[in-house]
Structure 1
Amino acid sequence: MINEQIRDKEVRLIGEDGEQLGIMSARDAFRIAQEAELDLVKIAPGAKPPVCKIIDYGKYKYELTRKEKEAKKKQKIVEVKEVRLSPNIDTNDLNTKVNNAKKFILKGNKVKVTLRFRGREMAHVQQSKHILDDFYKLVGDIAVVEKPAKLEGRNMSMVLTVKR
């Protein structure tokens, strides 16, 4: 809330250079802000009495957006990359998939390893679990299992993340 929007009877006022001006009526505080050609901004509405500060609202708003943008730049978005396998995968194909997964993990992404079963392959689900175990053994030096292998419909999947 700024300027006329502040309807409280009493507010604790902080001056433009940070010093406490005491508790006074909202009208007096607004008048003081107008004399300084600045805005009266409520910065702590939950306090008793609410705390208001005399600042340039446009400049204050600009500083907040700049801080938000700065914080956004520094955060890294973790993506979940998927590597799909089949129960009758050959060793060389598995090694290729492992190399792709290692690249993803080293970039800081999570890797979802999915073993998909089609048709009659559903009859041999338990025998095929070793493929995911072998996959983990091959990337185990740089990755750790975040979510263990679980059968969901026709797919068995596990999630790997970078080892810390």
Structure 2
Amino acid sequence: MNDQIRISPIRVVNQDGEMLGVMETAEAMTLATEAGMDLVEVASEARPPVCRIMDYGKFKYEQKKKLTKNTKQHQTQLKEIRLRPKIGDHDIEFKMKKARDFLQHHDKVKLTVMFKGRENAHHDRGRDILNGIVSDLEDIAKLEKPPSMDGRMMTAILAPR
């Protein structure tokens, strides 16, 4: 790049991609500085070597941007929403809204109904809550694991469609 190019003469390509021909390295450097750009060697194995007039900083930035664009992928996470059997209707709607947000961001949602004390006698209430949420969210999610008991908790897992 620029002063590091020792070989002379070189074949020069301008910033628009037009071939300027074979010229001395010093002459090519003056053309590059007049254009406010860098002289970059692109094919060193060719005879004479091919150099291009370009904005090297912008070129490196675009290459880095392309590389990060290709490697950037969403890592699916498991988000948990906890409920109780005595939860109110408005609270369920609020929790469903949050679950919808998670699913739209391509995350899985684990719905958990926690039972304490005498609530353990009303597993049917917890199952009804989970089934209601699953049916309301079936337009955006599919049921990955149906409601089942895990100790004192009933869980269901939803995955985005």
Partners of 1:72 and 1:149 in 2: CA distance: 38
Query: Is 2:132 aligned against 1:134?
Result: yes
Partner of 1:90: 88
Select the structure of larger CA radius of gyration: 2
SS in 2 for 1:131: helix
Unaligned ranges ≥5, structure 1: 1-65
Matched to 1:94, the amino acid is I
TM-score of the pair, normalised by structure 2: 0.55
Residue 71 of structure 1 and its aligned partner are, at CA, apart by 9.6
- Counterpart pick for 1:103 among 101, 104, 114: 101
Question: Matched residue pairs, number?
Answer: 96
Unaligned ranges ≥5, structure 2: 1-63
Partners of 1:114 and 1:88 in 2: CA distance: 13
Question: Pairwise mapping of residues 9-88 of structure 1 onto structure 2 (< 5 A)?
Answer: 73-88=71-86
Q: Per-residue CA shift, 1:121-164, capped at 9, x if unaligned?
A: 0011134311100011111110110111110000000110111x
Partners of 1:72 and 1:111 in 2: CA distance: 27
Partners of 2:90 and 2:115 in 1: CA distance: 20
Q: Per-residue CA shift, 1:11-30, capped at 9, x if unaligned?
A: xxxxxxxxxxxxxxxxxxxx
Partner of 1:151: 149
Identity %: 35
Distance change in 2, residues 1:156/1:72 (3 Å): farther
The answer to whether the 8 Å contact 2:103/2:160 transfers is yes
Distance change in 2, residues 1:70/1:90 (3 Å): same
SS in 1 for 2:124: helix
